[in-house]
Amino acid sequence: MYRQPDFQRKNKIFYLFDPKLLDDINTCNFVGKITLESLGSHFKVRPLCLSDYEKGYLKLLSELTKVGDVSYEQFEARFNSMKSSCDTYYIVVIEDTRTELIIGSATLVIEQKFIHNTSSRGRIEDVVIKNEYRGQQLGKLLIDILIERSQKLGCYKISLECKMEMIPFYNKFGLKREENNNYLVLRFRD
């Protein structure tokens, strides 16, 4: 039986991380032509919310990869698990306030390390812009935000995995392939 989501019952917004962390983003070094200040007034950049289940977040992710049939209860459980892993998951979304749909998303995952004087490493994952919004520099904005956030969090490096044809895009941000640096995959399911 479908249970009405908590966010609808309580009219409270539950963010994955504190939205104030996006307030101090320095856009001076952004690679993209678009900044938070120049973004159209109908776009809102913010952390993922529990209510984004109803705003097409999973449908957006399905433009990137296989998502599956995720119930609200599953979404809520995963959201709460990520939220309880303090200072680890930073999912930044772009909402089109005219349609109340999530049209862009990118994830920064922070790995805590013993190496580099107990530093951290940032990983960019799940970068996607809704097909009809592509070409507006929104993906560049999300990447710029995550790079800036990882620097503020003290990461010694940031990395991502991408398709070969996307390498020139990510090179614009200073990301590059390092010699003798490969990654291997063992999939347990599709």
The string of DSSP codes covering the chain is -PPPPHHHHH----BSS-GGGGTT--GGG-SSS--TTTS-TTEEEEE-BGGGGGGTHHHHHTTTS------HHHHHHHHHHHHHSTTTEEEEEEEETTTTEEEEEEEEEEEE-SHHHH-EEEEEEEEEE-GGGTTSSHHHHHHHHHHHHHHHTTEEEEEE---GGGHHHHHTTT--PPTT-------S--
Spatial CA neighbour of 122 closest among 85, 84, 87: 87
pTM score, whole prediction: 0.90
Tell me the C-alpha distance between 60 and 99, whole Å: 14
In a domain, 187, yes or no: no
Specify the pLDDT at position 45: 96
Specify the pLDDT at position 36: 78
Specify the pLDDT at position 185: 76
Tens of pLDDT, residue by residue, the chain (190 residues): 445 455 444 567 899 999 999 988 888 888 877 877 888 899 999 999 999 999 999 999 999 999 999 999 999 999 999 999 999 999 999 999 999 999 999 999 999 999 999 999 999 999 999 999 999 999 999 999 999 999 999 999 999 998 889 999 999 999 998 888 877 777 887 7
The greatest distance separating any two alpha carbons of the chain, rounded to the nearest whole angstrom, comes to 53
Specify the pLDDT at position 10: 52
Tell me the C-alpha distance between 132 and 117, whole Å: 44
In a domain, 22, yes or no: yes
Specify the pLDDT at position 9: 47
CATH number of the domain within which 17 lies: 3.40.630.30
In a domain, 1, yes or no: no
In a domain, 86, yes or no: yes
Sign of CA dihedral 130, 41, 136, 16: negative
Kindly tell me the burial class for residue 153, based on how many C-beta atoms sit within 10 Å of its own C-beta (0-12, 13-18, 19 or more): middle
Q: Which positions ≥6 away from 148 have C-beta within 8 Å? A: 25, 26, 27, 29, 30
Number of domains the chain contains: 1
Q: Which amino acid is at 66?
A: K
**Residue range 5-46, pLDDT digits in tens:** 554 445 678 999 999 999 888 888 888 778 778 888 999 999
Q: Which domain holds residue 122?
A: 6-171
